[in-house]
Amino acid sequence: MQIKKNPKANLENYTRIFMQLGLVLALLVVYLAIEKKTYDRVIGDLGPVVLNMADDEQVVEIEQVKPPEQKTPPPPTPDKIEVVEDKEDIEETIIESTETNEKEAVVVKIVEVYEEEEVMEDVPFAIIEDVPVYPGCKGNKDQLRACLQDEITKHVNKKFNSELASDLGLSPGVKRIFVMFKIDKNGDITDVQARAPHVRLQEEAIRVVKLLPKMTPGKQRGRPVGVKYSLPIAFKVE
């Protein structure tokens, strides 16, 4: 026998209604949750809380330890500065800039360098190019050389004191006197030296040579130079 269900007892017919009611309730709950006002909870002042402790319990008091104050050291006392009056005048050195302005013209001075005149040493009479000229001598180089020698010989024979031998009591024979002198670049007779067997003969030879006249100086490479001259004198004593 088949059991028949009562159509009123079938819950499937109310499914849509239940669903709609559920949605309405859910919306209502959400709305109330949104519109609900919240209030700050005020807790009453309960006053200081006193803990009852037994008399025999030790109370540990903790004192707040303040950190030691760090004393800032005082700033160092500056050394005493004495102002010394400068009584001496100090000469200020002004250093000028060595930079040249582009507008300034650079002037270059051309300095002519002259060669120093070569100092010619004295030249012996035997190798001199141009011999000194004795006053009155003329001719070429060889003639002037021979003339100078002849004139000096004549001068010595004329000026030398021939009677000096008898005064000195010299033994008979030929006495040789060597004389050296210089005809400087001005033509003067200088640096006269003599060597003889007797001092009086030596002095006489020097005296006679110094009496030679001023001459035209000799030349070497076109420049006046001193000329060294050697003069041997043979003095015959009878």
Do residues 110 and 200 touch, judged by C-beta distance below 8 A? Answer: no
Residue 194 lies in a domain: yes
Q: What is the pLDDT of residue 37?
A: 61
Q: Which two tokens stand for residue 163?
A: 């009677």
For the chain, 238 residues long, the average pLDDT of each consecutive 10-residue run is: 57 76 88 72 46 42 49 61 54 56 56 60 92 94 95 93 81 88 95 92 94 95 94 84
Q: How many CB atoms lie within 10 A of CB 22?
A: 10
Do residues 162 and 170 touch, judged by C-beta distance below 8 A? Answer: no
Would you give the distance in Å from CA 47 to the centre of its chain? Answer: 93
Residue 140 lies in a domain: yes
Residue 136 lies in a domain: yes
**Separation of alpha carbons 30 and 34, rounded Å:** 6
Residue 57 lies in a domain: no
Q: What is the pLDDT of residue 138?
A: 93
Q: What is the CATH number of the domain that holds 157?
A: 3.30.2420.10
Q: What is the pLDDT of residue 130?
A: 94
Residue 7 lies in a domain: no
pTM of the model: 0.50
Residue 39 lies in a domain: no
Residue 204 lies in a domain: yes
Residue 115 lies in a domain: no
Which string of b and e fits 34-53 if b means at least 16 CB within 10 Å?
Answer: eeeeeeeeeeeeeeeeeeee
The sign of the CA dihedral 129, 133, 138, 142 is negative
Number of domains comprising the chain? 1
Q: Which two tokens stand for residue 215?
A: 């001459």
Q: How many CA atoms lie within 13 A of 74 on its CB side?
A: 3
**Phi, psi torsion values for 133, nearest 5 degrees:** -100, 120
Domain limits for position 206: 123-237
**Separation of alpha carbons 211 and 227, rounded Å:** 17
